[in-house]
Amino acid sequence: MKKISFLLAVVLVFGLLAGCSNEPEEKTPEPGEPIETPVEENPGVEAVDPVNVTIAGLKGPTSIGMIKMIDEKALQSDKYNVEYIQEAAPDSLTGKIINGDIQISSVPINLASVLYNKTQGKVQLAAVNTIGNLFIVGTDNISSISQLEGKILGMSAKGSTPDFAMNYILKQAGLEGKTELNYALDHASLAQSVIAEDTAIALLPQPFVTQTTLKNPNVKMLIDLNEAWNDATGGKSELYTGCIIINKEFAENNPEFVSEFLEQYENSVNWVLENQKDASVLVAKHEIMPDAVLVEKALPYCGITFKKAMDAKEGLNDFYQILFDSNPASVGGSMPDDEFYFTE
């Protein structure tokens, strides 16, 4: 009996030992080997998708000011998925701006007011980014607005700021109906016509002005339209040409982003003005304008600047009032009110 009990005890011990051998063996880390710490899941925190932000501009001076931001893909983060796009014409942007697909955009100055009226206040003007980059060029020998009487003046972008500004200047000079305006399809085709000397006098923005003078030595800058505007308005306002607009709802929901954007934009403008050769290379690299040499020569005349809307409000009001009195359609049918001007 004792022998049987002994045998049962031995079997039980071996059974227990066999059961223990099935347990996974803990690995002892070697000296210097990092110890793995199990990651604890936090089911209480949900992943948040980044906010998509499209920042748009036009291929030309109005996009040059933010070229450093474009090159560095500024403001991209885990929280914001930022895309920079450039289009050749404002019409390519307006639909997307109205639909809210573009949150921030550089546009012609009069288009900002038109969009404000059209969207019933869903966009706001945040800053001015170009002033006075319009010139009358050609092979004719004129130096003043009064000498345009009886002449044919090449124009482009009918219904744009240059068009409204030129018509106002002619009206103030008593030349309404006395100077024929011949509209080309766009700035590029008008510039080519000037280079070929098919058009003797034309109103063009930079960099097309510099392009014509480089391609044909007979073409000269004849009249600075900023000076002509100053004479016509009695110095009431500058000839604003481009600005930055923002989607109002986006700005209200993302105030820190908008504030950082404006700060970085101003820094980018200052960098461009202080580093014109390097900036010109970036402009060509991102195909905002095709030729770095042309950009560098045109930059001093492009009127690139940065003025927050509230700092330029008084001058802008005078500017829009002049356009409105001349042609209400130029600003969208009615004068923009105080809500038009973005304030941080």
To the nearest 10 degrees (0 to 180), the angle between helices 187-195 and 208-215 is 20
Rounded to an integer, what distance in angstroms lies between the CA atom of residue 294 and that of residue 217?
14
List helix spans (H) across 138-247.
Answer: 161-172, 187-195, 208-215, 225-233
Q: Do the first three CATH levels of 51-131+239-340 and 134-233 match, i.e. the same topology?
A: yes
Give the max Cα distance, the chain.
137
Residue 253 CB neighbour total at 10 angstroms: 11
With a threshold of 0.75, does the pTM exceed it? yes
pLDDT along the chain (344 residues), means of 10: 42 41 48 48 68 94 94 96 92 94 96 97 98 96 97 91 94 96 92 97 95 96 96 93 97 98 98 97 92 94 96 96 93 97 95
Return the SS3 of 69.
helix
136: left (phi over 0), alpha (psi -120 to 50) or beta: beta
Give me the pLDDT at residue 18, please.
Answer: 45
Fold held by 51-131+239-340: D-Maltodextrin-Binding Protein; domain 2 (3.40.190)
Rounded to an integer, what distance in angstroms lies between the CA atom of residue 135 and that of residue 124?
28
Give me the pLDDT at residue 117, please.
Answer: 98
Which residue from 130, 271, 296 is spatially nearest to 207, judged by alpha carbons?
296
Encoded tokens for 36? 């793995």
List helix spans (H) across 173-224.
Answer: 187-195, 208-215
Beta-carbon contacts of 110 under 8 Å, excluding residues fewer than 6 positions away, are 160, 161, 164, 320, 323, 330, 331
Enumerate helices (H) and strands (E) in the chain, giving the number of each: 14, 11
- CATH architecture entry for 134-233: 3-Layer(aba) Sandwich (3.40)
Return the SS3 of 161.
helix
Encoded tokens for 215? 């391609």
N-terminal to C-terminal alpha carbon distance within the chain:
97
Rounded to an integer, what distance in angstroms lies between the CA atom of residue 271 and that of residue 260?
16
In the sheet that holds 123-131, the strands lie side by side as: 80-87, 51-58, 104-108, 240-247, 123-131, 304-308
Rounded to an integer, what distance in angstroms lies between the CA atom of residue 248 and that of residue 340?
10
Q: How far is CA 53 from the centre of its chain?
A: 12
| Strands 134-138 and 201-205, bridge-based pairing | antiparallel
| Domain residue spans of the chain | 51-131+239-340, 134-233
Which residue from 151, 173, 146 is spatially nearest to 233, judged by alpha carbons?
173
8 Å CB contact between 244 and 105? yes
Rounded to an integer, what distance in angstroms lies between the CA atom of residue 342 and that of residue 247?
10
Q: Count of alpha carbons within 13 Å of 256, Cβ hemisphere only?
A: 3
Rounded to an integer, what distance in angstroms lies between the CA atom of residue 51 and that of residue 71?
20
